Chains A and B, each alone.
Chain A
Amino acid sequence: MKTITNILLFVIAVVITGCYQQHDSRIHLREEVGSDSLVDNIVTRPVAYAFSALIGEGIEITQAVTKRNDAGFLELHISGHNRSYQTRRFRYRVEWLDENGLLIQTKTSVWLPTSAMGKSPFSLKAVAPRPEAVNFRMDTKKWE
């Protein structure tokens, strides 16, 4: 009897997992919008929240790409992910460097506010205001 119950539970678990459809990765369905899954549901979520806060999850930068636009200015495209469950609000400042690695003085290098919602990807874009910019450095700080 116990074996039959175990097999039944296993089959139900497999069926439920099998029924869960992986949606297009470009579309992010938040909790209470998309369907719950075995790993993300009303029971597991509080544990995941607490664990995330405990290990101090936050913003991660996954990619920083520079390209020169049609007008001849260097563009910086940053992609990142907020690993925490909380919305992270922060400020960033991009400074531009010339071919000698020297700082280009510009009024555009100021602290700009941005935010990323919990467990979500985000993107930033910055444009160098001078054609002589060839590199950059970026700093972040907490949004007070």
Chain B
Amino acid sequence: MGEIAYRLYVLAYGSVVGLAFLGDVRGNHAAAATIAPRTTALAGAALVALIVIAGSLGRRVVALRPSPADVQLALLSPSPRDDTLRSTIGVAASVAAVAAGVAAIVFMFVATPQFSGLSVGVELAYVAFGAAIGLLVYALHLVVAERRSLVPLGLIAGAVIVLCGVDVLSESARSPATLAVRSLRCGASPIAILATVGIGSALLWRARANAEDIETEMISRGGDLADHAAVALFGNDVRTLLILQRSMGSQPWRRRPLVHFPSAVAQRFPVLARTLRNIARWRGYRWLVMLSLTGALCGLLRVQPASARTTVLSAMCLWLLGLVSCESIAQEHDRADRLSLLPMERSIEFRQFAAAWSIEFVWLTAALLATRSRASSILTLTCLAAACTTAATVAAAVTFRRVWKPVTSLEWMASPAPGAEIVITVLWPALVAFICLSGLLRGATGALLLPSSVLVTIGYLLWVAKG
């Protein structure tokens, strides 16, 4: 029962945030007028990113994830592999098509203000066309998955996405991706849909026929990680999902850190140095993602400062930032037996808050400066955002404390508690960030500090009680 409740909670949370955001855009004519002309370029960038991600994941065959038993018994047996993989491919292709169909209708809804006034037939045509494109992208992903080496698409894709960014800023259409999406918007004809479905089906058939050449080790590892990700999404927490996502992408840490901390310093301040060494090994793309996420958050706050629904979205962004910043604590949480065996107080990692939130503060400050706001606004927003982020980070860390049971950690890891407890622990940091941001958006400093202080105090007491 608790598991079902949690799944419903995740679904409802995501749906409410998505609908609230769409409603904001549609209901705010100024925002709609700002966003609509840029949607084509944004969608172009998203499509290019999707194709690159699909290709990159394809090397690890994540989208083909038979069970470990299938891999060890069926795929290693002399029976034809395409028989074993037929249902897997069918299910995955269907999911891709449905998701792309939904994405297409959402895209048209946002991009075309008069879209909801069109006939049902036109809307269905866009859904069908989106689904056909989803099928095509999945089929391409499978075909790429068969290859031993992938053409280095990253640089090309990066250049195209930068051009899309220029298109967004200048409301023009120069990027190939923007032009492609613009042509797709006009191309939802029956012939185009049938042609896309035909090409996608042919590629799927080819991928299935070549299943004999797929590397089973990769299938097995990809399948395991995808299963763990599913567990993390529905049975655990978003922080675990982030870490698994990094593992699934095989995105290693930077081999040499950006900054080298001398041993004497690291031994004098072990906890602080441990956190900073984590940050120093982030790869460049991750810095960019963090900056982009923070920049988007700041932009959102500036465009729609009075919207409570936007606040929910902002709270989620802050929460994610808090979780990522607490990652070194998260590693302790994942293998609690490492520190819990050492003869020191078991709250030692809690001190990492200071380093974690200060790092976040740097992100927010940089993003705020990048928005070229007035000096007074920068100061106000920086101070308030720092307070919010601190609260979100502390709340995220309290989440770890709340579910972390050091002495019997192995027993706990063997049977993670689903249901109400997890719902509360996952909801808690978002709630803190939400209340803080509500105060921020109303411009009332007192309204910001009071609820956050109360909630952080409650979290601290919970932590003490657990300790």
A and B from one complex: no
Interface residues of chain B, those whose CB is within 8 Å of chain A, are: none
